[in-house]
Amino acid sequence: MNIRFCGAAKEVTGSCHMVEACGKKILVDCGLQQGGDEKDEQRFPFSAASIDYVFVTHAHIDHSGRLPLLVKEGFKGKIFTTKATCELLSIMLRDSAHIQEMDALWKNRKGQRAGNKEIEPLYTVVDAENVMQYLVPCSYKEVVEVDEGIKIRFVDAGHLLGSASIEVEITENGVTKNIAFSGDIGNFNQPIIKDPHYLNSADVVIMESTYGDRNHEPPRDYTPDLAKIIDDTLSSGGNVVIPSFAVGRTQELLYFIREIKDKGLVKNCPGFPVYVDSPLANEATKIYSGDLTEYADAETTAIIKEGEQPISFEGLHMCETSDESKLLNFDPTPKVIISSSGMCEAGRIRHHLKHNLWRPECTVVFVGYQAVGTLGRILIEGAKNVKLFGEEIAVHASIINFKGLSAHGDMEGLLSWVEAFTAKKPDRVYIVHGEEDVAVSFTERLRGMGFDAVTPNYLSEYDLATNECLDTGRSPEEIAKTEGKAKERPMSDAFKALNSAAKTLLDVIRKNEGGTNKDLAEFAKQIAALSSKWDR
């Protein structure tokens, strides 16, 4: 009964935790690494074909974005998640795959001129579509028996439509352990969705720490602030450009803008146009406009009962084609443009930044977390120039960061979540999904409150029954050194295959745990002989 931290260990993105129990291998999330967290060329530190099940907390790409790669590399098990997450994954993974394909196409066009070897996308749209056949939709609070000795239950995490914390009950060799995975813990009083649901009992907790060192701004009504930005910017002839996560944050913004229009808060341009320039956001908005019976908060439910659409209003335009997107930057009418990606790492938002960052009459409004190394983080930290599509762009537009507008719970929210374990206080809390200094400081805070808390390294491994450390893994410093060497001398295809074979061998070794002493001794002898032959 072990856990291995295969992502989001002392970093924010790439969430992926592997549990081995009852003879099965289970991934909790399978996220894409983003920004400064990217390493190992997104390769898995395990054999994809050896994974039996995946439990997905929610649809954000840093928690789900490598599912197509997992399937591409041989996974054929079941993927359990909530019904709403299944719907969102169907569009988000296809969108992610499209971005992978377009990035590879752009790099290959550029590489051809330099005589470089052609690269392949991490995965394709076909790979993303292949994921859908393995999805198993679940309802909140429903107890699901996954396999003998393994039960799970999803509860509302209040972070995104369909987001969940996951309770995993494992019974192995007569010992039962309850393991709680927080997923991303939501903020309170977000529009549309419900507040986070607290758990009260667990033996082991794996918990996020994105905002573990700080609190959000005091809760307030953001609509007047956003209305003033829109009014001032549009009155001066500029555009308001909002980099936004296509799923969740875009729909929240539409909810706020509907309120702004209903209350007449924009005085100078009351009929201002709003363009959502993201095919993914448009598809997600359709899902958010569907059946929200299990997910909507009381206020949204009341709006729907009155026959209104909570995220629709006059002057809202959905851009589908790339031609429609391009025309926005040649249309002189002042407007609000909401486009993805939220951290400005890909997608149509980069084109809108190229055309608006240099204009002092424009405003760029950030409404979500910006990971270290992303263009969004660079801009909010005060960059004077940025490079987009090979061109140096001066930053003259106003850059505004709505820090309090977050789908993540802040430090106080995280502490309230973990303090709710009153029926059974966890024996150990593992802190993940946070920048290294944040995760470490939050761990120290929990220790000061009497919790046994640790901050695992990438690839560290622990026994879930005893919480004994089986492998210390790799620290961020060790990863940086390894990647530095890799850049000096690229890994050959043959050496990559050898590394893959080594991981397979390790998987076989683990499967033979509990074998007879005679068989294990013979296996060890064979490995020693092989090692002796190749130890040059």
In order along its 536 residues, the chain shows pLDDT tens digits of 999 999 999 999 999 999 999 999 999 999 998 767 777 778 899 999 999 999 999 999 999 999 999 999 999 999 999 999 999 999 999 988 988 898 888 888 877 777 788 889 999 999 999 999 999 999 999 999 999 999 999 999 999 999 999 999 999 999 999 999 999 999 988 899 999 999 999 999 999 999 999 998 776 677 899 999 999 999 999 999 999 988 888 999 999 999 999 999 999 999 999 999 998 899 999 999 888 889 999 999 999 888 888 999 999 999 999 999 999 999 999 999 999 888 898 889 999 999 999 999 999 999 887 877 889 999 999 999 999 998 999 999 999 998 767 789 999 999 999 999 999 999 999 999 999 999 999 999 999 999 999 999 999 999 999 999 999 998 877 777 665 544 444 445 455 556 656 755 765 675 566 667 777 777 777 876 676 556 54
CB 55 within 8 A of CB 81: yes
- Provide the pLDDT for residue 71: 97
To which residue do tokens 């530190």 refer? 45
Annotated domain spans of the chain: 2-214+407-470, 223-401
Cα(157)–Cα(164) distance, integer angstroms? 4
Domain 2-214+407-470 falls under CATH 3.40.50.10490: no
- Which pTM was predicted? 0.80
To which residue do tokens 């009497």 refer? 450
CB 250 within 8 A of CB 281: yes
To which residue do tokens 């070794």 refer? 509
Cross-strand partners of 209: none
Query: Three-state DSSP class for 21?
Result: strand
CB 92 within 8 A of CB 61: yes
CATH of the domain spanning 223-401: 3.40.50.10890
Q: Rounded to the nearest 5°, which phi and psi values hold at 477? A: -65, -40
Nearest residue to 110 (alpha-carbon basis) of 490, 392, 390: 390
AA identity, residue 191: P
- Provide the pLDDT for residue 3: 98
Cα(276)–Cα(285) distance, integer angstroms? 10
- Provide the pLDDT for residue 407: 86
- Provide the pLDDT for residue 507: 54
Nearest residue to 248 (alpha-carbon basis) of 310, 192, 195: 192
Cα(23)–Cα(42) distance, integer angstroms? 26
Tokens of 339: 């486009």
- Provide the pLDDT for residue 37: 72
- Provide the pLDDT for residue 503: 56
Burial of residue 111 (CB within 10 Å: 0-12, 13-18, 19+) is middle
Cα(265)–Cα(115) distance, integer angstroms? 56
- Provide the pLDDT for residue 418: 98
Cα(407)–Cα(160) distance, integer angstroms? 7
- Provide the pLDDT for residue 497: 58
- Provide the pLDDT for residue 489: 42
